[in-house]
Amino acid sequence: MNGSRVRLPPEVVPPFDVYVNGLLQTEGSDYAVEGSSLVFAAELAPPARDTARSLVRGFFFGRYKPEHVVDVAYQAGGRGHVMSGLPISPPGEG
């Protein structure tokens, strides 16, 4: 797999579930675990920061933002946790 990468926080250890935009992803077909990173089969678009211009444009014309949010759900200390909005790196970056 050679798509976008997401570095896992150190407290996230297997087993865990990976979600992109709220949809459960399947290890092996949607992503692979390489060391402490997730490598996706597809290129993901990280959320863009809003500017005054984009907010005004969105207010008058609406907007469609092709972006992805990666969340990881895992167990630690007998409790469930979710890390949301993990940073997305472009393909080829570690």
pLDDT value of position 67: 85
The pTM of this model reads 0.81
pLDDT per position as a tens digit, 61-70: 666 667 899 9
Taking the CB of residue 4, how many other CB atoms lie within 10 A of it? Answer: 24
Question: What's the domain count of the chain?
Answer: 1
CB 32 within 8 A of CB 38: yes
Residue 16 within a domain: yes
Residue 31 within a domain: yes
Which residues touch 44 (CB under 8 Å, ≥6 apart)?
Answer: 3, 4, 20, 68, 70, 88
pLDDT per position as a tens digit, 29-39: 999 999 999 99
Residue 38 within a domain: yes
Q: Which residues pair with 5 in a beta bridge?
A: 39, 89
Q: Which domain holds residue 24?
A: 5-83
